[in-house]
Amino acid sequence: MDNATLNRFYTLHFILPFITAAVIVLHVALLHQYGSTNPLGICSNIDTVPFYPYYVLKDLFGLSVFLFVFGILVFYYPRALGHPDNYIAANALVTPAHIVPEWYFLVFYAILRAIPNKLGGVLAMVASIGILFLVPFLSKPKFTGPVFKPLHCVFF
């Protein structure tokens, strides 16, 4: 890790929220222009609900609830979601034995530990993400709506 790497990661972490916000605005604009599909997966305008005021008010209510809970956590309980090991004083000469990756990296950590070859572990990690891109092509049913999938309806 050098200064150039840190600068690039800082720039990525600074730019990424703006890119995410732009994609969300684009998604909402396209949803407003073309509408969404109905449960049967058939294109028709019989039972459509207007985007405004129904979905706008619903999203504003959800956003206000989220901001309220977020504000409570930030202003009244800022350390509630922190790990206790983060408050141990750092020692540059000793690597602690309790270091584990965050929860979202645990799957990749397990893949790396399960495969003794480094290149094989990296290839397995890339394959575990790459396989997700194949999921839409695995099955193309004639009717795509959840009405024709009873198990999906039960869990939904």
**Rounded Cα distance, 41 and 146, in Å:** 8
Is there a contact between 39 and 145 (Cβ–Cβ < 8 Å)? yes
Q: Is 58 tagged catalytic?
A: yes
pLDDT in tens, 62-81: 999 999 999 999 999 998 88
Q: Which of 13, 44, 47, 58 is an active site residue?
A: 58
Q: Which of 36, 83, 128, 152 is an active site residue?
A: 36
pLDDT for 143 equals 64
Buried b (16+ CB within 10 A) or exposed e, 26-49: eeeeeeeeeeeeeeeeeeeeeeee
pLDDT for 81 equals 85
Model pTM? 0.47
Does residue 44 register a pLDDT over 90? no
For residues 91 and 67, the model is more confident at 67
Q: Is 102 tagged catalytic?
A: yes
pLDDT classification of 45: cutoffs 50, 70, 90 = low
Does residue 61 register a pLDDT over 60? yes
Both tokens of 16, joined, read 């990424």
For residues 144 and 84, the model is more confident at 84
pLDDT for 74 equals 95
Chain-wide mean pLDDT for the chain?
85
Does residue 39 register a pLDDT over 60? no
pLDDT for 97 equals 76
Q: Is 59 tagged catalytic?
A: yes
Q: Is 64 tagged catalytic?
A: no
Q: Which of 27, 59, 64, 128 is an active site residue?
A: 59
pLDDT for 117 equals 93
Q: Is 44 tagged catalytic?
A: no
Nearest to 128 by CA among 155, 149, 110: 110
pLDDT in tens, 12-35: 999 999 999 999 999 988 887 877
Does residue 118 register a pLDDT over 60? yes
Q: Which of 2, 98, 102, 140 is an active site residue?
A: 102
**Rounded Cα distance, 115 and 58, in Å:** 47
Would you list the domain boundaries of the chain?
35-155
Residue with tokens 């800082």: 10
Q: Which of 2, 13, 27, 32 is an active site residue?
A: 32
pLDDT for 27 equals 92
